């Protein structure tokens, strides 16, 4: 039985395909369109999933959409009526977006001429946004029962949902409605600090350790923590009742309206412009916003535990991408185990919607936990060789032993390596399939990477990939983190050994590499360990201000545009000094 899950007409659109309850293919549409956070109908991701499985659309039994236009409909109408300042364009945009969801059968007919729209319609299931988020975390987790939290900007008029999961059932315990949203709060301050684009929030998380959280008390007037374990915004600090929060044009790129009001500027001071240098004040604001966000999340989690009395947690939603907060959960709340899927953000809606239908609608049995994020594109050595020949690029093909020896030598010698191996990752993190790698022992590695490849803000950290069995030796918290979704303190005695991946506050965003999940990446790190005594590599995404590369040609183009020293495409090596 095949279930196709979709996140459509929403930021980070994606598709995921399940066969008998097992996810066999999944990818974000942006990987094919080459446009970050692309938000239309995920036609290319759908075609990839079906082609990868070798099936046609007619063989798909169910199509799950992580969206329900009817969810909280009366609350949506009441909100529009009670806020007359909402413009006609804002209402029209929302209605048009909802209409696109209901016209999905026609999209499938255009994508697959000859398929029957009525048959497609009969296979559709509309799954409320946050139920899909909860399903993406709980049904992918190893837990038979758990506490559940979905938290983001907004989806189907909900911003936060607390629930519990038991075997094949998810129960929503309570929820918070738009416009009261931690995502809105964090995004408003992201804009205030001069980062205006959708998805820029991670920059505040990276900037925060450079500041002191001295403005937290001011923020307590912006967000109120309520006695029932929830929260509410002081809406006078925000513009969210005046129009769109996020709109999508014909280019399907999400655009965020200005979320903060003049009152917030009066409270905090002048807004930073994009060109303005980052002052200590800006760093202190970032630190304050991050610290207070963590306090809000912990407040929610204490309230959730009071409701469930279950110390296992499944977490999803855009705010669940705050890896700094995630790494502190077990030390600041009653929860002892935390599972976050590789695509905890909105791309994971496709996976969650399919899992929801499989368990909640079809009442099928639980499948093993999803331990691997490697469900995307993949290419044979033969296909890569043919591409390189067409491009006129000299290359060497090596057997595994020679390959790992040569690549690790390049890293030891200070080289920067583009590593393209196996199936691409599903989610926002490069996890050793589409990665740029460097030696974490180098004091200058961060500057070297920004000079040669990334060209990004100096305050943003690079992450360590570490062999799973060495995590306790290097980190103060011993946890399995295969999807790089938690930040932990690096042991003080190890920080001088890993200067390139130790952030200014002594932490690192951990990826624990598991031998049977990604054996080739594991072997590369282990080969590096045998030569250096350090079981860690610096890992960052294989891209240059674009979506992570998806094909060998895109990897080659990125290699050509930058100054990486070596490109590894499966068993094929391209060296800059030997390029024709």
Question: Are 42 and 30 a contacting pair, CB within 8 Å?
Answer: no
Question: Helix (H, G, I), strand (E, B), or coil: what is residue 118?
Answer: helix
Asked, as a colleague might, if the bond just before 278 is cis with ω within 30 of 0, I would say no
Spatial distance between the Cα atoms of 66 and 352, rounded to a whole number of angstroms: 7
Residue 103: per-residue pLDDT? 85
What pTM was computed for the model? 0.96
Rg (Cα) of the chain, in Å, rounded? 23
Phi/psi-derived region of residue 72, left when phi > 0, alpha when psi is between -120 and 50, beta in every other case = left
> Is the same domain home to 275 and 404?
no
Among 42-56, 298-312, 435-449, the minimum mean pLDDT is found in 435-449
Tell me the two tokens of residue 449. 């990477």
User: Do 428 and 520 fall into the same domain?
Assistant: yes
Within this chain, do residues 45 and 126 fall inside the same structural domain, yes or no? Answer: yes
Same domain? For 290 and 355 the reply is no
Is the residue at 130 inside a domain? yes
> In the chain, what is the greatest distance between 2 CA atoms, to the nearest angstrom?
68
pLDDT computed for residue 451 by the predictor: 84
Q: How far apart are CA 327 and CA 392, in angstroms?
A: 46
- Looking at the structure of the chain, the number of domains it has is 3
Q: Which residues contact 67 (CB under 8 A, 6 or more apart)?
A: 7, 8, 9, 10, 101, 126, 127, 128, 129, 155, 156, 349
Token pair of 88 as six digits: 């006609």
Predicted pLDDT at 95: 55
Does residue 375 lie in a domain region? no
Q: Are residues 395 and 329 in the same domain?
A: no
Provide the pLDDT for residue 76: 79
Asked, for residue 367, whether it belongs to a domain, the answer is: no
**Per-residue pLDDT tens over the stretch 165-220:** 999 899 999 999 999 999 999 999 999 999 999 999 999 999 999 999 999 999 99
pLDDT of residue 455: 78
Q: Which of 328, 361, 394 is the last residue of a domain?
A: 361
Query: Could you give the CA distance from residue 391 to residue 404 in angstroms, rounded to a whole number?
Result: 25
CATH number at residue 499: 3.90.870.20
Which of 330, 361, 392 is the last residue in one of the domains? 361
CATH of the domain at 95: 3.30.420.40
Domain of 287? 150-341
Provide the pLDDT for residue 241.
74
Strands 486-489, 572-575: parallel, antiparallel or unpaired by DSSP? Answer: unpaired
pLDDT tens per residue, range 246-271 = 888 889 999 999 999 999 999 999 99
- 369 within domain boundaries: no
Shared-domain flag, residues 462 and 566: yes
Could you tell me the pLDDT band of residue 580, with boundaries at 50, 70 and 90?
Answer: very low
Cβ distance 194 to 270 under 8 Å? no
Residue 63, pLDDT > 80, answer yes
Whether 520 is in a domain gets the answer yes
Mean pLDDT calculated for residue range 129-152: 98
Strand 337-339 vs strand 158-166: parallel, antiparallel, or unpaired?
unpaired
**Domain-located, residue 371:** no
Regarding whether 333 and 202 lie in a shared domain, the answer is yes
pLDDT for 448: 85
Residue 529 in domain: yes
Residue 543 tokens read as: 């891209």
Selection from 410, 426, 512 nearest residue 465 by Cα: 512
Examine the domain organization and report whether 351 and 326 are in the same domain.
no
Percent of the chain with pLDDT over 70: 96
- Calculate the average pLDDT of the chain: 94
Structure confidence by residue, pLDDT tens digits, 422-449 = 999 999 999 999 999 999 999 998 888 9
State whether 299 and 156 are in the same domain: yes
Is there a contact between 62 and 20 (Cβ–Cβ < 8 Å)?
A: no
For residues 411 and 354, membership in a common domain is answered with no
Whether 378 has a pLDDT exceeding 50, the answer reads: yes
Predicted confidence (pLDDT) at residue 461 exceeds the cutoff of 60: yes
The owner of tokens 């996810």 is 23
Q: Are residues 156 and 41 in the same domain?
A: no
What value, to the nearest 5°, has the Cα angle with vertex 212 and ends 210 and 218? 135
Residues 124 and 172 placed together within one structural domain of the fold? no
| Long-range contacts, 160-163 (Cβ 8 Å, 24+) | 160/130, 160/230, 160/300, 160/317, 161/130, 161/131, 161/133, 161/134, 162/300, 162/303, 162/304, 162/307, 163/134
* pLDDT value for 577: 76
Q: From 306, 331, 361, give the residue that closes a domain.
A: 361
Lowest mean pLDDT among 92-101, 418-427, 458-467: 92-101
pLDDT of 312 above 90: yes
pLDDT single digits (tens) 220-246: 999 999 999 999 999 999 998 766 688
Query: Which whole number is the average pLDDT over 288-298?
Result: 98
Confirm whether 19 is domain-assigned. Answer: yes
């Amino acid at each position: 039985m095949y279930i196709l899950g979709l996140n459509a007409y929403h930021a980070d659109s994606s598709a995921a395909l399940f066969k008998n309850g097992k996810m066999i293919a999944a990818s974000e549409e942006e990987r094919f369109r080459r446009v970050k956070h692309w938000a239309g109908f995920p036609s290319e991701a759908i075609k990839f999933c079906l082609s990868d499985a070798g099936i046609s659309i007619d063989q798909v039994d169910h199509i799950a959409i992580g969206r329900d236009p009817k969810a909280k409909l009366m609350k949506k109408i009441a909100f529009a009526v009670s806020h007359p300042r909402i413009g006609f364009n804002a209402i029209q945009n929302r209605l048009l977006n909802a209409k696109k969801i209901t016209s999905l059968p026609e999209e499938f007919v255009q994508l697959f001429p000859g398929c029957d729209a009525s048959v497609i319609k009969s296979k559709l299931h509309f799954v409320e946004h946050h139920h899909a988020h909860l399903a993406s975390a709980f049904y992918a987790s190893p837990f038979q029962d758990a506490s559940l939290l979905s938290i983001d900007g907004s989806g189907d008029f909900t911003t936060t949902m607390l629930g519990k999961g038991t075997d094949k059932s998810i129960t929503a315990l309570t929820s918070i409605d738009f416009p009261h949203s931690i995502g809105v709060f964090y995004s408003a301050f992201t804009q205030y600090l001069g980062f205006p684009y959708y998805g820029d929030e991670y920059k505040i998380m990276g900037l925060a350790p450079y500041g002191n959280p001295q403005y937290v008390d001011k923020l307590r007037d912006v967000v109120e923590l309520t006695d029932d374990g929830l929260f509410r915004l002081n809406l006078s600090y925000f513009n969210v009742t005046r129009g769109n929060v996020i709109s999508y044009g014909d280019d399907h790129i999400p655009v965020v309206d200005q979320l903060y009001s003049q009152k917030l500027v009066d409270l905090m001071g002048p807004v930073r412009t994009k060109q303005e240098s980052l002052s200590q004040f800006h760093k202190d604001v970032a630190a304050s916003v991050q610290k207070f966000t963590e306090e809000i999340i912990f407040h929610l989690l204490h309230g959730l535990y009071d409701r469930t009395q279950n110390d296992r947690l499944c977490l999803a939603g855009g705010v669940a991408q705050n890896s700094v907060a995630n790494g502190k959960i077990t030390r600041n709340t009653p929860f002892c185990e935390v599972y976050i899927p590789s695509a905890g953000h909105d791309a994971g809606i496709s996976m969650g919607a399919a899992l929801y239908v499989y368990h909640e609608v079809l009442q099928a049995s639980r499948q093993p936990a999803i331990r691997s994020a490697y469900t995307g594109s993949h290419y044979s050595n033969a296909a890569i060789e043919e591409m390189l020949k067409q491009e006129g690029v000299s290359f060497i093909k090596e057997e595994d032993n020679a390959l790992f020896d040569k690549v690790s030598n390049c890293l030891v010698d200070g080289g920067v390596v583009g590593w393209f191996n196996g199936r691409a990752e599903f989610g926002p993190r490069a996890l050793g399939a589409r990665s740029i790698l460097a030696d974490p022992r180098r004091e200058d590695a961060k500057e070297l990477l920004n000079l040669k490849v990334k060209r990004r803000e100096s305050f943003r950290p690079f992450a360590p990939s570490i062999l799973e069995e060495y995590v306790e030796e290097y980190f103060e918290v011993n946890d399995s983190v295969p999807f790089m979704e938690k930040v932990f303190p690096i042991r003080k005695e190890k920080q001088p050994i890993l200067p390139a991946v130790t952030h200014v506050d002594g932490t690192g965003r951990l990826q624990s590499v598991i031998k049977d999940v990604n054996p080739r990446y594991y072997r590369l790190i282990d080969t590096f360990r045998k030569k250096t005594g350090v079981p860690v590599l610096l890992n960052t995404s294989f891209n240059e201000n674009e979506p992570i590369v998806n094909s060998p040609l895109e990897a080659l183009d990125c290699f050509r545009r930058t100054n990486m020293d070596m490109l590894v495409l499966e068993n094929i090596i391209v060296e800059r000094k030997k390029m024709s």
